[in-house]
Amino acid sequence: MLAAALNIDPHADKRMLQLLFIDGIGGRSIFRAALLRQVAKLGVEALYFGYHPSRETLAQIQGRLEAQLHSLAARGPYVLVGYSFGGVLARMAVPQIARAGQPCHLILVASPMHSMALSRRVAGWRAFRWLTGECGALTASETDMATIARPTVVTTCVFGTRPLLGIIDLAGSRPSDGMVSVQEVNPSLFNTALAQASSHPFIATSKATFRVISDCIAACDSRRAP
């Protein structure tokens, strides 16, 4: 099922498959390091895209991401993983890339499709505005989030249902991963949407998420086979 309708040229050579992990706001290596090590063991070039929302405008971040996607596409097929706000950035950037340069698979991990109640609740806090910049403001705006299109490339949605520490729910409604509610993820939009009992900080490096990514990588490789 994951192999169907992938954006891969059947005549492309067997260059190493690439995977780009897009950080969430405040991204740290703890949220991706273990996952990227596991991906590298599959023979895939594992990369990440980081950014500084307190020092960069949203347009600057998106511009850098689009440049990196163009660079990846020039080198061969790639899988794109957007964690949390990283998935929002992916949805903004991918439509700007020519079809030949789009990912063979997009994986959204705990990424909101709609405005977040948590962001709306703290939008007036000076610390929130300083730390998250225009990225945080976007997640607090129902109008602006609604303008970001649903992905047209093959997409898998992974979302969590366990509050922080099992009891703390900052999302304001359950089920949630403690920060992003299932309603905000809106898994019904996707043909493939997989729930797991993980909270937001740990879902990207969970074994279940790695299995999903591994399956997507295998699907991309199967389509590249001569």
Whole-angstrom distance, CA of residue 135 vs CA of residue 55:
11
Whether the pLDDT of residue 2 is over 70: the answer is: no
d(CA 139, CA 89): 11
Residue 148 domain flag: yes
Longest Cα–Cα distance of the chain, Å, equals: 55
Domains identified in the chain, total number: 1
In a domain, 61, yes or no: yes
On whether residue 190 sits in a domain, the answer given is yes
The two beta strands, 155-160 and 105-109, are parallel
Whether the per-residue pLDDT at 17 is higher than 70: the answer is: yes
pLDDT band at residue 224, thresholds of 50, 70 and 90?
Answer: low
Q: Is the pLDDT assigned to residue 18 strictly greater than 90?
A: yes
Mean pLDDT for 126-145 is 97
Q: For residue 31, is pLDDT > 90? A: no
Q: Is the pLDDT of residue 84 over 80?
A: yes
What's the N-to-C CA distance of the chain in angstroms?
A: 19
Query: Over the chain, what is the mean pLDDT?
Result: 90
Confidence of residue 8 (pLDDT cuts 50, 70, 90): very low
- pLDDT above 80 (res 11): no
Segment 56-76, tens digit of pLDDT: 999 999 999 999 999 999 999
CATH number at 172 reads 3.40.50.1820
- Provide the pLDDT for residue 177: 96
Domain that holds residue 126: 18-219
The band of 5, judged by pLDDT with boundaries at 50, 70 and 90, is very low
Question: For residue 74, is it within any domain?
Answer: yes
Span 149-191, pLDDT tens digits? 999 999 999 999 999 887 788 888 889 999 999 999 999 999 8
- pLDDT of 100 reads 77
Is 5 inside a domain boundary? Answer: no
Question: Is 60 part of any domain?
Answer: yes
Answer whether residue 9 is part of any domain. no
Distance CA 83, CA 135 (A): 14
116 within domain boundaries: yes
